[in-house]
Structure 1
Amino acid sequence: MWVIQRGNKVINVDSDDNLNSHIATGWEIVSDVAIEAAGMRGYENIISPANTVVNADGSLTFTPPAPPSETELYESLRLEAERLLAATDQYGMDDYPDNERRAAYRAYRAELRALNRQEGAPWDGGGPATPWPTKPEV
């Protein structure tokens, strides 16, 4: 991922081919120092003219996105829990041949369903700070 600039526009590109075609038309790579100074580190994938301004002195002003609301975090947590539940549907069926594993998966799935009611929810909306239950071994 590269952040590039031409005149008063700043965008991101995500492939060598895309970078090279932009460089050929006069775009320049924004330095790591400029990215750091503008507070863009970690946001490189969303850089656009909508959130980045090139100032008269050539410096950049970046407006980071608003943090997600609690409602959005709960929705993100719910969607990720549903994805994990769907990935284990077959292990909770009555015809799954191993009773011990079926019971372990049913317990795991119950923990996934209860996650949004735990203290601290919604954490980071299903990201690394979320205390996901441990998936049983198949």
Structure 2
Amino acid sequence: FEFTTALHTYFNVDSVESAAIYGLDGVSYLDSLEGRVTKVESDSEEGVRFESEVDRIYLGAPRGITIKCGDVTGRKISVSTSSEFEDAVVWNPWAEKAARMGDYGDDEYREHVCYEVAACGNPVTLGPGQSWSGTQKLCDKSSQA
């Protein structure tokens, strides 16, 4: 059988506007808000920022990235993953979509960014008796510059 998977991890942030994701520069992604057109991330020194709705599938994502959770706390989280998770999803619904979602508070988009390690670009295929596993490691890097 075939399957795709993603770990839907939501990271609390001081404010979504001050959060950023670093480490995706040069990675191709499908922009789900534009019909899954392929683009290349050019996050430079600013990182991936959130100023409106974001829904991207990064194909061949790096094994490790860093999330800056804002300016107030200075918290940084590193996310690393095993090679089984080849991809990643970056998501935030922003105000308009959040207001339309029944299981999501109208203002919750302000409090998190979603970085999902994933295996979705190429479905995983398992035969009889085969198994699959993937790992994600989160580390608080706040005290490190």
Q: Which TM-score band applies after superposition, normalised by the shorter structure?
A: under 0.3
Over alpha carbons, which structure has the higher Rg? 1
Q: Scaled by the length of structure 2, what TM-score is found?
A: 0.22
| Bigger relative contact order (CA 8 A; separation at least 6) | 2
Structure showing the higher helix proportion among its residues:
1
